[in-house]
């Protein structure tokens, strides 16, 4: 006898997580948003914070996030000119979701450390 098909009881038929992840698209994007949630950062500071990212990829991600309206790019009137990146209002909206993922990541790291010990 075949199993009875159960109806989806989720509040929304199509999961909006996929929409959000497609919006953020690309590796390193959550890292950049997370780092900028602590305050404005210059390119070189972000590059130092994310040790494994190449300059090309960081530049691409920053441009994409600026196009999407997630971050702001401000040219500072210094000599030589420098650029500071900060979160926009939309970027600020994304930080609680990323903070929740960070929290789970910390718990998973602790669990893995206990299992390895």
Geometric angle at alpha carbon 33, from 97 and 47, rounded to 5°: 150
| Tokens encoding 39 | 């305050």
Q: Are 36 and 87 in contact (CB under 8 A)?
A: yes
* pLDDT value at residue 37: 95
Torsion angles phi and psi, residue 53, rounded to 5:
-90, 140
Distance CA 71, CA 87 (A): 4
Please state the pTM of the whole predicted model: 0.80
DSSP state of 79: S
Please give the chain's pLDDT, 117 residues, in tens.
788 887 777 766 667 777 887 878 888 999 999 999 999 999 999 999 999 999 999 999 999 999 999 999 999 998 888 999 999 999 999 999 889 988 999 999 999 998 988
Domains and CATH numbers, the chain: 19-116 (1.10.10.10)
Take residue 51 and report the two structure tokens written for it.
């040790």
């Amino acid at each position: 006898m075949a199993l009875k098909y159960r109806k989806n009881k989720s509040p929304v038929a199509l999961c909006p997580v996929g929409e959000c992840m497609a919006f953020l698209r690309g590796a390193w994007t959550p890292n950049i948003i997370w780092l900028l949630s602590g305050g404005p950062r210059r390119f070189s500071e972000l590059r130092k914070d994310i040790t494994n990212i190449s300059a090309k990829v960081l530049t691409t991600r920053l441009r994409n996030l600026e196009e999407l309206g997630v971050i702001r790019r401000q040219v500072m009137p210094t000599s030589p000119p420098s650029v500071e990146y900060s979160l926009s209002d939309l970027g600020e909206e994304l930080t609680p979701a990323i903070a929740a993922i960070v929290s789970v990541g910390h718990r998973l790291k602790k669990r893995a450390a206990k299992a390895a010990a």
